[in-house]
Amino acid sequence: MCKQGWLRTERTVFEKSRQGRRSYSMPILDVPQVDPEDLIPPNLLRQKPADLPELSEPEIVRHFVTLSVTNHHVDRDFYPLGSCTMKYNPKICEFVASFAGFADIHPLLPEELVQGALKLMYELGQSLCEITGMDDCTLSPAAGAHGEFTGMLMIRAYHEAKGRARTKVLIPDSAHGTNPASVTIAGYSSVEIPSDSSGRIDVERLKAYLDEDVAALMVTNPNTLGLFETHIAEIADLVHRVGGLVYMDGANMNALLGISRPGDFGVDLAHLNLHKTFGTPHGGGGPGAGPLVVKKDLSPYLPIPVIVRDGEKYRFDDDRPQSIGRVHGFYGNFLVMVKAYCYILMAGARGLQSMAENAIINANYLLAKLRDYFEVPFDGFCKHEFVLSGRDKAAKGVRTLDVAKRLMDYGFHPPTIYFPLIVEEALMIEPTESETLETLNRFVDAMISISQEIESDPERLKTAPHSTPVGRVDEGLAARRLDVSE
């Protein structure tokens, strides 16, 4: 090992273009090479080699393949987890994100060496603004909830700059749990507003909550019942009249792509989940990205750095006196951005629109097929997802949890259950756009067969799952005494 030298790492990059295939060498980074013995005190250095298991390649491959098929994932079969958008993510996005020029760059490299990465981030931000009808964007937040929190800090900065001390954020009772959490952490009190009998914000009752103390309304559209808030423009207008802002939880933007833009129906700021709508798989805790798109009145408060374009050059702008500051150590989860950029370019405008259309058609197809077998508390045309209730199954002693567990025996991941909270025994189903008619029909058959089992053999459901490596676990205990050693 060379001592104290500088090593120039080079990587050969292959690129396929219309002109054919070419390769070039790309300098990655000048890294100082230091002998560990110069850095670590001798008494802390290992004296003999670590006792690592000696395994052959086939054993290791089999171990990981077994693990990967023991777990259920969207590459294996249908995963209709409502609100979470577990759709198939094209492998080309992973492939592009693995390119050395993206994967091996370091966040502290000087701007002139990462112009391509900056350009990608800038153009992704522009695309997200175009898709949502907004003016400006930050890509820094690392998740949806982080985007919400960043949005709340910006709302606070906006009101403070106007000399207003507002204290409340209104949130519909069907909202995702992260909404009140983000509001509370940002120092606002969250005020729950009721839904009407159609499952949407009750406009008349909303009026009673609107006063000069309202900093914002935080709305999810389509909401967590999978319903479009049909009065959203009027609602936004009412909030604006008392000087409040409208924040949209856009985690589930795949229902709106190319059809409707939050910026056009009165939203002032919104986050998107790149790990739901734009080509990154999720689950297991990330990494994700929750970019925030805003109207121009809010631009001054965006977190730093903001990526700006000067002619043909791109740079980070930190000189923004009204900014809320940094919300991420560096610039966010860059490779998730690469995947989103690839996804958007691959699909194109028409492709994105057809994703939303297919997500909506698939959800409505399932709803139509299942309506006769399960109760639909808020019925009607849905968007990308819909919510059933298992409360009428109580007569047979069966709960929604049992239906979900039994679905695993049919080879499917269960839908989201017991959310949203306004539906008793909720089963929230989101098929996504990436499923075929054959898969949807297999799921329908499974659900119908389960509904028949509820009548004929409820015990079979209550003891499910019967086919998985692990049966029912005590989830409360597992959360408190986490053991991941097996």
Ligand X SMILES: *Cc1c(COP(=O)(O)O)cnc(C)c1O
For residue 112, how many C-alpha atoms fall within 13 Å in the half-sphere facing its CB?
A: 0
* Cβ 335 to ligand X shortest distance, Å: 16
Of 144 and 180, CB closest to ligand X: 144
Strand 245-250 to 269-272 pairing? parallel
Considering the complex, state which of residue 138 and residue 220 has its C-beta at the smaller distance from ligand X.
220
Q: Which of 288, 332, 415, 465 binds ligand X (CB under 6 A)?
A: 288
Contact between 131 and 260 under an 8 Å Cβ cutoff? The reply is no
Contact set for ligand X, span 58-87 (CB under 6 A): 83-84
CB 213 within 8 A of CB 167: yes
Q: How far apart are CA 443 and CA 478, in angstroms?
A: 29
Q: Which lies closer to ligand X via its Cβ, residue 270 or residue 347?
A: 270
CA-based torsion, 343, 347, 352, 354: positive or negative: negative
Shortest reach from residue 457's CB to ligand X, in Å: 34
Q: Which residue is nearest to ligand X (CB)?
A: 144
Listed ranges 96-104, 244-252, 297-305, 401-409: which one lies at the site for ligand X (CB under 6 A): 244-252
| Given 132, 140, 150, 178, the residue binding ligand X (CB under 6 A) | 178
List 199, 290, 291, 390, residue binding ligand X (CB under 6 A): 290
CB of 249 to ligand X, least distance (A): 5
Give CA–CA dist 203/139, Å, rounded: 33
Q: Which of 134, 155, 222, 249 binds ligand X (CB under 6 A)?
A: 249
Contact between 162 and 187 (Cβ < 8 Å): no
Helix (H) or strand (E) holding 454: helix 437-456
Closest by CA to 280, choosing from 85, 463, 476, is 85
Alpha-carbon distance 336 to 98, whole Å?
A: 11
Least distance from ligand X to the Cβ atom of residue 180, Å? 11
Give the residue with the Cβ less far from ligand X, 148 or 402. Answer: 148
Whether 221 and 248 have beta carbons less than 8 Å apart is answered as yes
d(C-alpha 211, C-alpha 401), whole Å = 41
Counting residues that bind ligand X (by CB under 6 A) gives 15
> Contacts with ligand X in 121-160 (CB under 6 A)?
143-145
Q: Which is nearer to ligand X, 159 or 276 (CB)?
A: 276
CB nearer to ligand X: pick between 385 and 435: 385
Residues 222-241: x where in contact with ligand X by CB under 6 A, - otherwise, as a string? --x-----------------
Cα–Cα dist 287/284, whole Å: 9
Site string for ligand X, 93-122 (x = CB under 6 A): ------------------------------
Measured between alpha carbons, how far is 368 from 382 in angstroms, rounded to an integer? 10
Report, in Å, the least distance between residue 273 CB and ligand X. Answer: 5
Of 220, 254, 323, 434, which lies in the binding site for ligand X, with binding defined by CB under 6 A? 220
Cβ nearer to ligand X, comparing 257 with 450: 257
- What DSSP assignment string belongs to 167-213? -EEEEETT--THHHHHHHHTTPEEEEE-B-TTSSB-HHHHHTT-STT
Using CB under 6 A as the criterion, which residues of the chain lie in contact with ligand X when the complex forms?
A: 83-84, 143-145, 176, 178, 220, 224, 249, 251-252, 273, 288, 290
